Amino acid sequence: MDRIRIVGGNALNGIIPISGAKNAALPLMIASLLTSDTLTLENVPHLADVEGLIRILGNHGVDIAVNGRREHQDGSYSRTVHFTCRTVADTTAPYELVSKMRASFWVIGPLLAREGQARVSLPGGCAIGTRPVDLFIEGLTALGAEMEIDGGYINAKAPKGGLIGARYTFPKVSVGATHVMLMAASLARGTTVIGNAAREPEVVDLANCLNAMGAKISGAGTSTITIEGVTSLSGARHRVLPDRIETGTYAMAVAMTGGDVTLSGTDITLLDTAIEAIRRAGAEVSAVEGGIRVIGHGDQIRPVDIVTEPFPGFPTDLQAQFMGLMTRANGVSHVTETIFENRFMHVQELARLGAKITLSGQTARIEGVTRLRGAPVMATDLRASVSLVIGGLAAEGETMVSRVYHLDRGFERLEEKLTRCGAIVERISD
């Protein structure tokens, strides 16, 4: 099993290219099930989750063709992937595939809309909370689907003639359920109005792609989305938006270690709340042509309190990284997690580096320390694992991060990107 070795203490300087967003690419890939034409996606990141979903889509009959890597002067590359589902080969998404990645559960929407039926295993993914599928079931039921849970699977069936447009308001914001409703309602008869919809940029990206395929969606990016159903969708060509979580992660790494880094190929407007928190912590962050420039000041980090909230609030996917930054702040900060009930598993591992963190319910109190010391640590989930990398970059001595397969799910070529900016990071394969 691979590990990552980090020797901390070096400031980061240079350019870090930002990859396409995993959280946007996955629903966009699943949207290929909605049409018999080819959906071409540009800027698709090379990640374990993407490769896993490619295998799952292949099980449903999607043919996938990947263009060669296109090298750029800054060393980054993006993949263009063509997805073609002439006919759906299988409407069952089996446990052995879905249990490995929660997002694969989302195939239930397109399968139900296009084929009128779906049998999908209850999902897996990171162990950061229960994340029930109730919202998915309620939303699809509102469109006329008959839903039954049996033997760990959801058996879904559309009424004769297909799904029917309806008004439905989510009792709580859910990005995944909003994705599924957008895809399912695009082929429903009549108009669907979704209330309390997720407003994340990845939802907007999916809506833009679906509209390019012939859907009629308005209001994406607001809490009310309207979808006028169409009889069929065509192919399209769409570029995956930049990864705002990767952007924020590297910005926090620079803020913690010091240095001057340009994050290329990204957009500062994708994460206003997180950028404001990083600025309050003492880093300089500014929009530049083609990206974002971050200047960190190392030992001058200021304490900042944050609360995770649905977009446009502070992203839960950056909570662990920000907590890592706060371990070196000059004072006491507080991090409150409101999205997932079990997303503080990184606390004990950060403590191994010398962090002083105490938990009270869903709030962590972080007392900044003057220095961190390298130590062996273990990744517990995707975002927690990269918080340990950030801690290791600022720690004295060597940090060894094990179970890095979590990192490979969401961070493309992390070691290479950091090494090119002066960090000492290497992957060790046992």
Instruction: Write out the binding residues for phosphoenolpyruvate.
Output: 22-23
Our measurement of the distance from residue 328's CA atom to the centroid of its chain's CA atoms, rounded to an integer in Å, reads: 26
Q: Could you tell me if 430 and 3 are in contact, meaning their C-beta atoms sit under 8 angstroms apart?
A: yes
Spatial distance between the Cα atoms of 55 and 332, rounded to a whole number of angstroms: 46
Half-sphere exposure in the Cβ direction for 213 (13 Å, CA): 33
Cα diameter, the chain:
66
Q: In what order do the strands lie in the sheet with 153-157?
A: 92-93, 117-121, 153-157, 146-150
Binding site for UDP-N-acetyl-alpha-D-glucosamine: which residues?
A: 102, 131-135, 172-175, 317, 339
Task: Report angle CA 387, 96, 35 to the nearest 5 degrees.
Answer: 90
232 Cβ contact list (under 8 Å, min separation 6)? 35, 187, 214
Torsion angle, CA of 66/67/73/74, rounded to 10 degrees? -10
Q: Which residues have a catalytic role annotated?
A: 126
Where does residue 16 fall: left (phi above 0), alpha (psi -120 to 50 degrees), or beta otherwise? beta
H-assigned helices in 155-314: 175-186, 201-212, 244-257, 272-280
Where does residue 74 fall: left (phi above 0), alpha (psi -120 to 50 degrees), or beta otherwise? alpha
Which H/E stretch holds residue 314? none
Please give the span between the terminal C-alpha atoms of the chain, in angstroms, as a whole number. 6
For 5, other C-beta atoms within 10 Å of its C-beta total: 16
Prior bond of 312 cis (ω within 30°): yes
DSSP-derived pairing of the beta strands 12-17 and 259-264:
parallel
CA distances for 314 relative to 35, 94, 318, 403, angstroms: 35, 34, 8, 27
